[in-house]
Amino acid sequence: MTPEEWTYLVVLLISIPIGFLFKKAGPGLKKWGAAAVGLGLTLFTCGPHSLHSLVTILGTWALIQAQPCSCHALALAWTFSYLLFFRALSLLGLPTPTPFTNAIQLLLTLKLVSLASEVQDLHLAQKKEIASGFHKEPTLGLLPEVPSLMETLSYSYCYVGIMTGPFFRYRTYLDWLEQPFPEAVPSLRPLLRRAWPAPLFGLLFLLSSHLFPLEAVREDAFYARPLPTRLFYMIPVFFAFRMRFYVAWIAAECGCIAAGFGAYPVAAKARAGGGPTLQCPTPSSPENAASLEYDYETIRNIDCYGTDFCVRVRDGMRYWNMTVQWWLAQYIYKSAPVRSYVLRSAWTMLLSAYWHGLHPGYYLSFMTIPLCLAAEGYLESALRRHLSPRGQQAWDWVHWFLKMRAYDYMCMGFVLLTMGDTLRYWASIYYWIHFLALACLGLGLALGGGSPSKRKTASQATTGQAREKLREDSLQVFKMPHFPKRKGTDQWSCGILDKVPVDPQYWGKSFRARKRQAREQVASGSESKAAHWTRQLSKTKGKMKEGFQTIQPWAWTLKKIGGQFGAGTESYFSLLRFLLFLNLVASVIEVCMKLIPTWLEGTPPGPPSPNISSPCGSYTPQPQGLVTFSTQLFNLLSGAGYLEWSPLFYGFYPPRSKLAITYLCSVFVIGLIYLLCILHRSVSGLKETLLAETDVLTSYSHRVFSAWNFGLHGEVHVRLRQRIILFELQVELEEAMIRRRAAEQTLGQRVKVWSVRALLNLLILALLGAAFYGIYLATQYTVTLQETPVVQENPLLKLLVDYLPSISISVFNFVLPIVFKFITSLEGYTRSRQIAWILIRTVFLRLLSLLFLLVSLRNQITCGGNMEAERCKACGYNYEELPCWETRLGQEMYKLVVFDLLVGLLVMLLVQFPRKIFCGLCPGALGRMMGTLEFQVPDEVLGLIYAQTVVWVGSFFCPLLPLINTAKFLILFCLKKMALFSIYSPASRTFRASTANFFFPLVLLVGLAISAVPVLYSIFLIPPSKLCGPFQGKSSIWVQIPESIESLPQTSQNFLYFLGTQAFAVPLLILSCILMAYTVALANSYGRLISELKRQIETEAKNKVFLAQRAVALSSANGTL
């Protein structure tokens, strides 16, 4: 055992006698005495690192006081963000916290998030009570009042479970302080009952850890052992792991039991972590309290028997670390952005791994759990229910055995911690749990199995079948022959009708289902096999589309945004979600095709030694000697120093042939995925735009009479839909008014308008030219200023010089769109056309400013395109200033992404929030003018597209940039949503969502095309660096592909070379032309047909108007007569 483990054990054993002392104390002594003991333990074990816990507590308390209505989400974001800072201290050059500090910080995070949730529930209950106008009885588990700062500190530093758990809520803590008769609560016998197996578990831990040490797995000799030995070794490792935690958690529970902490009557049916689920009367006397039967389920942290002998993986999760599992289920699982059980579990496991730490082994271990859950869920639902009782018993035994092996397998990642050690061990046993889980999942899907959520739906469908039977019986009543009415018939018929379901939607669904079933039966009897398979394929496609829509994250949030702020704002958040998905997919591909192959082929070599030189100079990415904290912080912001030689940048990856191939292929795979996804979104948006532009479908009668969704349930959904229709009608009326004014203009007025537009466009071109020249100068002067001694001696000044191109781009991107908006308002366009022009001009500014930056960098790399220059002649690039030019390019893109995020955060915190506060303090006209903010969709959308284009350019040179951008977009989504509902007001003028749904992806395509230019130019034309990267020693990056093709068999070589010849290209071009001509002809025929139908509709409309006028005239004439 390590010294830290002995310290944990001593602290746990000391807490037992201390608990007996506190059990019979009064509320005041319990509160401050327990807090004093906990604070003393914290100071003794953590020393100055105790400040981390204090900062976390004070920050959470401030959030609770500032935003009690939404403090739960804010506290979750604050505590988890501080965990990231806490674990990155060593990277920042600060003292590394002790393991005890980490344990206290983990438990404190759970407690503070739970406290914020309880305060939010109290605040919402008080608001509801005020709105209802009458006082209600106290709700179970609700706090009596918001805790003060001192009460928050006493709860946070309570010695009970301060290092090892169990987690408990503030309500549980209050119940312990206010126990009416604590001496009547049993503690000694429950403690002995709970503690008796702990010594046995301790001996088993010492024995198994001695015989099967974990360090043996890290030795090379271990992998020379036979496969059965390697497979078996994970079983005793997980056994020792379990015994260790059994001892720790049982001792922690005994400390709670000794103090009477978490004791509730059995009738309250308490849950681990959550507390009682039923309200029990408070005992009125000591005798009454002593007569009750108590349990300590609230603080139960482990069920040893359930963990070892439960059958399913999902059940094993519930019995392990039970209080933390309750916290995860309550605050993470229920608030997951998806609805599927497996995806929710994946989300929960991801955050659980983050809570445990930043070691890759945690993530590899925890993210295997969702795969096992999906495999066992689908396969069990497909096979087990068809087995006999004896077969089910055998199934359960096999299932239990595989469950234990899966936990053995995942435990190795948890204890080995590093990615290299974990993947090395898993590879030595051929990833057998992963492959077995995938095979079970595929078999379950093939046999028609369902996930747990679908099994729940199936059980509901069984109830629905019973209701269907009742309805069919009721229908028989209406099919009876008609009898003459007699006395009492009304009463008889009313009695029958009372038994019939009266929900109109219920009858509607039943009728539609029977009608659809009858239609399918008729069709199946007459259709051919091809038509049958086509219909089945269409049905499967519809079900898959419906299933995909159910798992889309933030669907309800987008609907709410569309109802309150219009369809344009909703389209911005929809685009943000789409880009988040693309970056997530790209991140997975980058990790699988670049990072994992790097580690699988062996540990990557370290940075080049400064003593080694070559004809292309020397390269020293990491500074030597002592590095100050400020330098570490500036390196984090600029990508230099320790980040320069890390998996974040191109130069880290070693020159290995297989890695070079996967590195290069990943660029084309990701680019193809981006292209297909954006094209799919553009086409669907184009369909909506074309429909929206037609006069027939955008008529007001269509909006009023055909746009309502009669399947809505609840007043909230109805009001949201009403607001959406209101905004659509508002836009339609505005557009029609401006078009009518434009149609009434004379020729002179039109000439005047077009002249003004021409002059304003010349002014815009001049402004754009000035901006591009400023960016070019900033990039050129950056290298010159970096050489000056003043800049090199001042880290802050050096950081500002490094960020000079980013700052210049951001300044122009901030100032010029405001000018464009003012100029566009003078051109006399409609609102949607104004937004389109603003978007086009801002796109031109943002994307070409980035292109000018890349051109400036290209001139530095290639000596202005002159490869015969003295600095570029030896190696083909400017090796003196840029020894690893790919990493330098990646650093520039990294700085643009980081700077864009920092600017967004600072604008929100220092500009938008103060303006909103000023608006609240000054309710008059001045406050409305200065404080009222409207969500500007064009500016926000162009910010997204610019950020994504930067990532597309930089992902080749900074492979983990999509992962950084995924985190950035996730933070941006949460912050923008919070700001939207707390800062912004609904826009006074909106625009069509259909236009946005087409225009935004179209601009994305432009950004993708622009980003492809520098990447392809670097791949084909610029020689790669000689001192870093996977393509060292090559004349160009693309040369790696022909060299790899030459190593293939001759048949494969001939086929691949044939694809590049004219014999393949010419027929392909001819076929493409034929298909294009056919498509154009088909589109023209459809267009003529649509035009003819529109003329018919217009003729019918005119005929109806004429008949209506004639009818009015005739009725007037008859009235006169």
- Evaluate whether 893 touches 845 at the Cβ level (below 8 Å): no
238 assigned to some structural domain:
no
892 assigned to some structural domain:
yes
- Evaluate whether 403 touches 336 at the Cβ level (below 8 Å): no
**Shared-domain flag, residues 370 and 465:** no
Mean predicted confidence (pLDDT) in 963-987: 82
How far is 294 from 517, CA to CA, in rounded Å? 57
**Shared-domain flag, residues 467 and 420:** no
- Evaluate whether 74 touches 67 at the Cβ level (below 8 Å): yes
Residue 169, token pair as written in the block? 């809520």
- Evaluate whether 413 touches 365 at the Cβ level (below 8 Å): yes
831 Cβ contact list (under 8 Å, min separation 6): 731, 734, 735, 738, 989, 990, 991
Least confident segment among 96-110, 949-963, 1107-1121: 1107-1121
**Predicted local confidence at residue 458, as pLDDT:** 43
Q: Which class for 481: exposed (0-12), middle (13-18), buried (19 or more C-beta within 10 A)?
A: exposed
Q: pLDDT (tens digit, 9 = 90+) per residue, 722-747? A: 776 777 777 677 777 777 777 777 77
Residue 518, token pair as written in the block? 């009858």
DSSP assignments along 531-551, one per residue: HHHHHHHHHHHHHHHHHHHHT
How far is 781 from 789, CA to CA, in rounded Å? 15
**Predicted local confidence at residue 477, as pLDDT:** 37
How far is 977 from 462, CA to CA, in rounded Å? 40
CA dist 20 → 138, 186, 335, 1062 (Å):
31, 11, 39, 89
648 assigned to some structural domain:
yes
Residue 85 has pLDDT above 90, yes or no: no
How far is 890 from 955, CA to CA, in rounded Å? 8
Residue 989 has pLDDT above 70, yes or no: no
657 Cβ contact list (under 8 Å, min separation 6): 1040, 1043, 1044
**Predicted local confidence at residue 1035, as pLDDT:** 83
Domain range enclosing 463: 451-481
Please report where in the chains the tokens 């401050």 appear, as a residue: 32
Centre a 10 Å sphere on the Cβ of residue 792 and count the other Cβ atoms it contains: 13
Q: Among 450, 470, 493, give the residue marking a domain's end.
A: 450
Question: CA angle 237-238-239, nearest 5°?
Answer: 90
Percentage of the residues of the chain whose pLDDT score is greater than 70: 80
Q: Is 5 helix (H, G, I), strand (E, B) or coil?
A: helix
636 assigned to some structural domain:
yes
- Our separate counts of H helices and E strands in the chain read 45, 4
Phi, psi of 901 (to 5 degrees): -65, -45
CA dist 359 → 364, 365, 1055 (Å):
9, 10, 45
Q: pLDDT (tens digit, 9 = 90+) per residue, 193-211? A: 999 999 999 999 999 988 9
* Beta strand pairing call for 984-985 and 933-934: parallel
Mean predicted confidence (pLDDT) in 397-415: 93
Question: CA angle 746-747-751, nearest 5°?
Answer: 120
CA dist 7 → 1, 44, 105, 254 (Å):
10, 11, 17, 17
Q: Which class for 949: exposed (0-12), middle (13-18), buried (19 or more C-beta within 10 A)?
A: buried
Instruction: Give one word for 566, left, alpha or beta, with left for phi > 0 and alpha for psi -120 to 50.
Output: left
How far is 951 from 965, CA to CA, in rounded Å? 7
**Shared-domain flag, residues 920 and 1022:** yes
The length of the chain, given as a count of residues: 1121
Q: Among 1047, 1072, 1096, give the residue marking a domain's end.
A: 1047
Of the pLDDT bands very low, low, confident and very high (cuts 50, 70, 90), residue 647 is: confident
**Shared-domain flag, residues 1016 and 1097:** no
- Evaluate whether 591 touches 963 at the Cβ level (below 8 Å): yes
Least confident segment among 150-164, 351-365, 402-416, 850-864: 850-864
Residue 427, token pair as written in the block? 């590879």
How far is 877 from 893, CA to CA, in rounded Å? 20
Residue 550 has pLDDT above 60, yes or no: no
Q: pLDDT (tens digit, 9 = 90+) per residue, 167-191? A: 999 999 999 998 888 888 888 899 9
**Predicted local confidence at residue 411, as pLDDT:** 93
Kind and range of the H or E element at 957? none
**Predicted local confidence at residue 399, as pLDDT:** 92
**Shared-domain flag, residues 964 and 1102:** no
**Predicted local confidence at residue 484, as pLDDT:** 41
pTM (two decimals)? 0.57
What residues form DSSP beta bridges with 933?
Answer: 984
Question: CA angle 521-523-528, nearest 5°?
Answer: 125
Centre a 10 Å sphere on the Cβ of residue 976 and count the other Cβ atoms it contains: 22
Residue 583, token pair as written in the block? 């970056």
In the chain the first and final C-alpha atoms are separated, in Å, by 113
Phi, psi of 592 (to 5 degrees): -70, -30
**Shared-domain flag, residues 974 and 1109:** no
Percentage of the residues of the chain whose pLDDT score is greater than 90: 16
**Shared-domain flag, residues 1027 and 1117:** no
CA dist 342 → 338, 381, 490, 719 (Å):
9, 15, 54, 32
Q: Which class for 369: exposed (0-12), middle (13-18), buried (19 or more C-beta within 10 A)?
A: buried
Residue of 891, 963, 1032 whose CA lies nearest to 592: 963
How far is 820 from 839, CA to CA, in rounded Å? 9
CA dist 979 → 263, 405, 912, 984 (Å):
43, 47, 9, 7
**Shared-domain flag, residues 381 and 464:** no
Number of structural domains found in the chain: 4
Residue 549 has pLDDT above 50, yes or no: yes
**Predicted local confidence at residue 480, as pLDDT:** 38
**Shared-domain flag, residues 850 and 714:** yes
Share the mean pLDDT of the chain. Answer: 79
**Shared-domain flag, residues 807 and 930:** yes
CA dist 728 → 234, 259, 302, 441, 713 (Å):
62, 63, 56, 45, 22
**Predicted local confidence at residue 900, as pLDDT:** 85
Mean predicted confidence (pLDDT) in 542-551: 61
**Shared-domain flag, residues 874 and 728:** yes
CA dist 158 → 107, 169, 177, 295, 1066 (Å):
11, 12, 11, 21, 78
**Predicted local confidence at residue 751, as pLDDT:** 82
Cβ burial 1079-1109 (10 Å sphere, 16+ → b, else e): eeeeeeeeeeeeeeeeeeeeeeeeeeeeeee
Instruction: Give one word for 250, left, alpha or beta, with left for phi > 0 and alpha for psi -120 to 50.
Output: alpha
CA dist 98 → 90, 416, 548, 755, 1113 (Å):
12, 19, 45, 72, 94
24 assigned to some structural domain:
no
170 assigned to some structural domain:
no
Please report where in the chains the tokens 């060299």 appear, as a residue: 1043
**Predicted local confidence at residue 981, as pLDDT:** 79
614 Cβ contact list (under 8 Å, min separation 6): 1026, 1027
Please report where in the chains the tokens 């009416």 appear, as a residue: 180
366 Cβ contact list (under 8 Å, min separation 6): 349, 350, 352, 353, 356, 410
Q: Is 271 helix (H, G, I), strand (E, B) or coil?
A: strand
DSSP assignments along 454-472, one per residue: HHHHHHHHHHHHHHHHHHH
Q: pLDDT (tens digit, 9 = 90+) per residue, 235-259? A: 999 999 999 999 999 999 999 999 9
1040 assigned to some structural domain:
yes
**Predicted local confidence at residue 932, as pLDDT:** 61
**What residue type is 886 in one-letter code?**
E
Q: Among 1047, 1067, 1100, give the residue marking a domain's end.
A: 1047
Cβ burial 409-424 (10 Å sphere, 16+ → b, else e): bbbbbbbbbebbbbbb
Instruction: Give 436 or 1105, the one with higher predicted confidence.
Output: 436
Residue of 698, 700, 691, 722 whose CA lies nearest to 709: 722
**Shared-domain flag, residues 1025 and 1096:** no
- Evaluate whether 1107 touches 1099 at the Cβ level (below 8 Å): no
52 assigned to some structural domain:
no
List, in sequence order, every beta strand (DSSP E) within 647-778.
none
How far is 488 from 478, CA to CA, in rounded Å? 18
Of the pLDDT bands very low, low, confident and very high (cuts 50, 70, 90), residue 355 is: very high
Look up residue 98 and give its DSSP letter.
P
Phi, psi of 828 (to 5 degrees): 80, 30
How far is 446 from 35, CA to CA, in rounded Å? 57
> From the centroid of its chain, how far is CA 704?
37
**Predicted local confidence at residue 425, as pLDDT:** 92
Residue of 1063, 1057, 946 whose CA lies nearest to 1007: 946
**Predicted local confidence at residue 57, as pLDDT:** 92
